[in-house]
Amino acid sequence: MSAHSDSAAPSPVRLADYRPTDYLIDTVDLDFRLDATATRVVSRLRLRPNPAGRAGAPLVLDGGDLKPLRASLDNLPLDLAAVATPHRLTIANPPQRPFTLEVETELDPSSNTQLEGLYRSNGTFCTQCEAEGFRRITYYLDRPDVMAVFTTRVEAAKDEAPILLSNGNPVETGSSGPGRHYAIWHDPHPKPCYLFALVGGDLGWIEEEFTTGSGRKVKLAIYVEKGKEHRAHYAMESLIHAMRWDEFVYGREYDLDVFNIVAVSDFTMGAMENKGLNIFNDKYILAIAETATDADYAHIESVVAHEYFHNWTGNRITCRDWFQLCLKEGLTVYRDQEFSGDQRSRAVQRITDVRALRAAQFPEDAGPLAHNVRPDTYREINNFYTATVYEKGAEIIRMLRALIGHDAYHAGMALYFERFDGKAATIEDFLSCFAESSGRDLGDFAQWYAQAGTPRVKVSGAYDSEAKTYQLSLSQHIPPTPGQAEKKPLPMPIRIGLIGRDGGEIPLVQDHAQNWREEKFGVFELAGPERTIVFKNVPTPPVASVNRRFSAAVILEQQLSEDDLLLLMAHDSDPFNKWQAAQSFATRLMIRSTAAIRAGEMPAFSEKFALALADALEHYETDPAFAAQMAALPTENDLARDIGTDVDPEAIFLARKALRDGVGQLLSHRLLALYDKLQSDAPYSPDAASAGRRALRNACLDLYAAGNHADGSEIALAQFQHATNMTDKMGALSVLSRLPTPTREKALEFFYRAHCDEPLIIDKWFSLQATIPEPDTLARVKRLTKVHAFNIATPNRVYALIGAFANANPLCFNDLSGDGYQFVADLALQADGVNPQVAARLLSAFRSWRNLEARRGELAEQALRKVLDASKLSPDLRDIAQRALG
């Protein structure tokens, strides 16, 4: 991507146009002389014609705004003016034998605000090359199917950058002139250039030794800003757990002598899996009780694992082209979700993952930005690091595993590692391994990658009291998405249970079972448009618990009565569906209230529901984190998504508030009693059980305060003042922030003064204020963009303040004045001049604008058009604006 290089949209890239390169690169020798404004890079490429390419074709290397200084071919100087532009280096008639191309470029890392290629973060030199950032360092065949062995020499001033790192193993260090030193790194594993990385800086670190299953010693290190070393221990523990887990569950060992992680504060995404040298957004590394919440700890555990797991799923086996991005991302997300499930509560992990899928991916799939998990065309690849590619990609792997079973899944993975190690693979390559291990034709299953949109599955049941049978009918339908009017049915695993009126589980018996695994595991396959299953020996009319564990990534349409839902809330042995029943009940009430409010009537309430909720919370002992999930009612965004069209965010807000207030009032005593009971004087520990108790306690306070403002505010203030960890402090401050009292402003002020030199903590303060559902919030957010701590060039600040306002404050973002839309559009334009990827992410908040009621829809559209009309637009921002309007 080259920001602002031209205003015309680049022409789309198509999967169907894939062909191999005409040349291959065997080895790359890089020599960096780091300098803040004039870094010199010498690149020596050993190239040869690709037998699979076109003989005699010109060699065209990609460049991204490069300043070339000299170039030579087999040591003969080339005429720079004739071969190089900032965006391309062309050799018209390259030798048809192996040859060497040497090019020197000069870079200015200090002025690189796009955070792609070589840049500086807080004085540290670092790189980000995925997807197409390497071309901003030197000319290259910048695509993932070109895999080469890299050797990197880095030289810098010793006092400025005592730490010099790159991929692979350290080979040599030494001094090179007065005050300067160098390090040489060699990575024996051929890799695409998007996995290249380099770091130079004055950093602190912690280290550990890890012994692999086969007895090899690996030196692990995490580098952080000096003085923050003590905040890296949880990340280190997580890394060690992840390394063991991948050996134990997938038989994958680490393959270098060192594994380094570097945390930087300026990073557009979460983290990056560069071979042997992961670079992280420091928010996913740094944690101690006083600075990080339990949720932060959980994220650290999962992101550290995710990047580590990429070593096999992404690095050893990479993607043939960027259309196959889900090959590494979907699979790696699935692996990190399973890892986290094993470290914590499986049920809570599943609920958290499904919440995230529904919050981010379902709206994407239902709006103008919908795309296949494997897209077949893109204009800007950076805009395809989406919830669809990542989260839906992970759901597809989970469904595949449920359909073929544990053994065939692991046999297929083993085949995949064996066959494609060291290669750049496709989704077809991947699926072929499972077709072989399971003996199944996966042709229909492959459609999951090629069709956008979330399937809707209708369920209905009929009980025959004479025959004692229960007939369950399933049917599926996928609504059209942009450019895809017709959809084929998809094979999907639906996990089913039957619950009797006494709350007991009824065995699943059929006359003609389709497959023995169905009755044994309760996983039924819906392959065509519909299926009817008849269960026999069902003594009384049951309640069907369908799509347990959210086995299929679909929207379930099942007409359950309130009594059915209460039965599932109390007795379902599947915790996911127990939680789902509470969510469904609450959703139903709130949707009814939304309509009532719009008609000027009273909102709905159900005592039965509130009391059932209280029972669930009081039965928290086995899994307090699960009880906390029960307490968290569907969000306003959840409701908007379920309502689907003619969405009125203000009515939704009032409906949700009414239910929370009602529950808080009715359950006052029970919530307060539970809050007191869960009080603990034990020293802070981030483990899942302790975190679960804190989550539940804070959830009780939150609901209590919703129904008892004055008293709730007092309790929250006391908790805020005495909290010894960030989880309880934020839990309290979040409650206070929703109560418009002078106490709130004082607490916010106090918090700011206590933490103003800790940007990651100030981000929490930004987000909290940006999500206050009050008319003044936009003015507050505008004010906050002017405070010293805010900086539009730092992605974390922009996401924390503007991203939170746009995505997590539907009431204010969708204000009837249209000011919320204008503000976010203006900020996206402003950010675009600095970091186009951040700008594009911000603008994605408009993805559901077509579902809004007419007036808001018009206002949102106007804001999007204003973006498109701007004189200078990056390809990233233009692509999102165009598709959102398209």
Positions that interact with Zn ion (CB under 5 A) = 329, 332
Stretch that binds ligand 0A1, among 169-177, 268-276, 411-419, 612-620 (CB under 6 A): 268-276
Specify whether the CB–CB gap between 797 and 759 falls below 8 A.
yes
**Comparison of 273 and 642: residue with beta carbon closer to ligand 0A1:** 273
Facing residues of 217 across strands?
211
Q: How far is the CB of 263 from Zn ion (least distance, A)?
A: 17
Question: Cα 740 to chain center, whole Å?
Answer: 33
State in angstroms the smallest separation of the CB of 156 from Zn ion: 29
DSSP class of 703:
H
Contact set for ligand 0A1, span 289-348 (CB under 6 A): 306-307, 329
Binding string to ligand 0A1 for residues 14 to 53, with x set by CB under 6 A, is what?
A: ----------------------------------------
Q: How far is residue 284's CA from residue 342's CA, in Å, rounded to a whole number?
A: 20
Name the residue nearer to Zn ion (CB basis): 271 or 733.
271
- Nearest distance from C-beta of residue 269 to Zn ion, angstroms: 9
| CB 712 within 8 Å of CB 735 | yes
Residue 402: name the closest of 546, 517, 251, 325 by CA: 517
484-496 as b/e: b if 16+ CB within 10 A: beebebbbbbbbb
> Among residues 47, 91, 146, 272, which is the contact residue for ligand 0A1, using CB under 6 A?
272
CA–CA separation, 212 vs 255, rounded Å?
9
130 is in the binding site of which of Zn ion, ligand 0A1, none (Cβ under 5 to 8 A by kind)?
A: ligand 0A1
Q: Which stretch binds ligand 0A1 (CB under 6 A): 85-93, 266-274, 432-440, 699-707?
A: 266-274
* Sole window of 202-210, 267-275, 548-556, 634-642 interacting with ligand 0A1 (rule: CB under 6 A): 267-275
**722 Cβ contact list (under 8 Å, min separation 6):** none
Write down the residue that tokens 């992680």 correspond to: 261
Q: Which is nearer to ligand 0A1, 388 or 837 (CB)?
A: 837
Tell the smallest beta-carbon distance from residue 271 to Zn ion (Å): 8
- Relative to beta strand 59-62, strand 76-77 is unpaired
270 contributes a contact to ligand 0A1 by CB under 6 A: yes
Cβ distance to ligand 0A1 smaller for residue 271 or 706: 271
CB of 387 to ligand 0A1, least distance (A): 12
* Beta pairing class for 469-477 and 530-535: antiparallel
CB-wise, 126 or 863, nearer to Zn ion? 126
From the list Zn ion, ligand 0A1, none, partner contacted by residue 272 (C-beta under 5 to 8 A by kind): ligand 0A1
| Alpha helices (H) along 393-469 | 393-404, 406-420, 427-438, 447-450
- 271 is a contact residue toward ligand 0A1 (CB under 6 A): yes
Listed residue (71, 67, 70) closest to 59, CA to CA: 71
Q: Annotate each residue in 819-838 with x if it binds ligand 0A1 (CB under 6 A) or - if it does not, as one string.
A: ------------------x-
Q: Is the dihedral of CA 413, 414, 415, 421 positive or negative?
A: positive
Cα separation, 410 vs 328, in Å, equals 17
d(CA 831, CA 844): 13
Least Å distance, CB 328 to ligand 0A1, is: 7
Least separation in angstroms between CB 273 and ligand 0A1: 6
> Which CB sits closer to ligand 0A1, 181 or 306?
306
With tokens 């890079």, the residue in question is 41
Which of 21, 18, 838, 17 is CA-nearest to residue 382? 838
Q: 306 vs 257, 272, 370, CA distance in Å?
A: 20, 9, 25
Stretch that binds ligand 0A1, among 217-225, 271-279, 334-342, 571-579 (CB under 6 A): 271-279
Place of tokens 């401050």: 733
204 binds ligand 0A1 (CB under 6 A): no
Task: Give the span between the Cα atoms of 856 and 862, in whole angstroms.
Answer: 10
**What does 271 interact with, of ligand 0A1, Zn ion, none (CB < 5 to 8 A by kind)?**
ligand 0A1
Q: Coil, helix or strand for 882?
A: helix
Beta strands 23-33 and 148-157 are parallel
| Active-site choice (102, 132, 273, 307) | 307
Mask 218-257, x = binds ligand 0A1 (CB under 6 A)?
----------------------------------------
Stretch that binds ligand 0A1, among 262-270, 520-528, 607-615, 780-788 (CB under 6 A): 262-270
Q: How would you class 172 by CB atoms within 10 Å of its CB: exposed for 0-12, middle for 13-18, buried for 19 or more?
A: exposed
Q: Which stretch binds ligand 0A1 (CB under 6 A): 265-273, 629-637, 687-695, 710-718?
A: 265-273
The residue number whose beta carbon is nearest to ligand 0A1 equals 269
Closest separation in Å from C-beta 129 to ligand 0A1: 8
Question: Rule CB under 6 A: is residue 268 a binding residue for ligand 0A1?
Answer: yes
Nearer to ligand 0A1, 139 or 280 (CB): 280
Options 269-277, 634-642, 657-665, 705-713: segment touching ligand 0A1 (CB under 6 A): 269-277
DSSP secondary structure letters along 82-140? HHEETTEEEESS--SS-EEEEEEEEE-GGG--S--EEEEETTEEEEE-TTTTGGGTS-B
Q: Per 3-state DSSP, what percentage of the chain is helix, strand, and coil (rounded to 5)?
A: 45, 20, 35
- Binding flag, residue 273, ligand 0A1 (CB under 6 A): yes
Least separation in angstroms between residue 727's CB and ligand 0A1 is 25
Q: How far is the CB of 194 from ligand 0A1 (least distance, A)?
A: 8
Q: Please identify, using beta-carbon distances, which residue of 232 and 303 lies nearer to ligand 0A1.
A: 303
> What are 396's strand-pairing partners?
none
Peptide bond just before 616 cis, omega within 30 deg: no
Smallest separation (angstroms) from Zn ion to the CB of 12: 24
Instruction: Name which of 243 and 873 has its Cβ closer to Zn ion.
Output: 243
Residue 715 CB contacts under 8 Å (≥ 6 apart), including other chains: 675, 701, 704, 705
Tell which residue, 610, 615, 619, has the closest CA to residue 585.
610
Q: Which one of residues 29, 31, 102, 130 is an interface residue with ligand 0A1 (CB under 6 A)? A: 130
**Residue 118 interacts with ligand 0A1 (CB under 6 A): yes or no:** no
Size of the residue set binding ligand 0A1 (CB under 6 A): 13
Choose from Zn ion, ligand 0A1, none: what does 270 bind? Cβ within 5-8 Å by kind: ligand 0A1
Q: Is 307 a catalytic residue?
A: yes
C-alpha span between 183 and 180 (Å, rounded):
11
Choose the contact partner of 401 out of ligand 0A1, Zn ion, none; CB within 5 to 8 A by kind.
none
Among 105, 112, 128, 386, binds ligand 0A1 (CB under 6 A): 128
Q: What are phi and psi of 257, to 5 degrees?
A: -80, -20
Minimal distance in Å, beta carbon 786 to ligand 0A1? 27
Rounded to whole angstroms, the Cα distance separating 153 from 171 reads: 10
Separation of alpha carbons 879 and 886, rounded Å = 10
Residue 167 binds to ligand 0A1 (criterion: CB under 6 A):
no
Contacts of 864 (CB under 8 A, 6+ apart): 825, 843, 846, 849, 881, 884, 885
> From the list ligand 0A1, Zn ion, none, which binds 269 (C-beta under 5 to 8 Å, kind-based)?
ligand 0A1
Question: Nearest distance from residue 317's CB to Zn ion, in Å?
Answer: 13
Structure tokens, 148: 């080469």
Are the beta carbons of 204 and 227 closer than 8 angstroms? Answer: yes
Task: Please report, as residue ranges, which positions from 364 to 403 form the binding site for ligand 0A1 (by CB under 6 A).
Answer: 385
The option from ligand 0A1, Zn ion, none interacting with 324 (CB < 5 to 8 A, set by class) reads none
Q: Hey, which residues are catalytic here?
A: 307
Site residues (vs ligand 0A1, CB under 6 A): 128, 130, 268-273, 306-307, 329, 385, 837
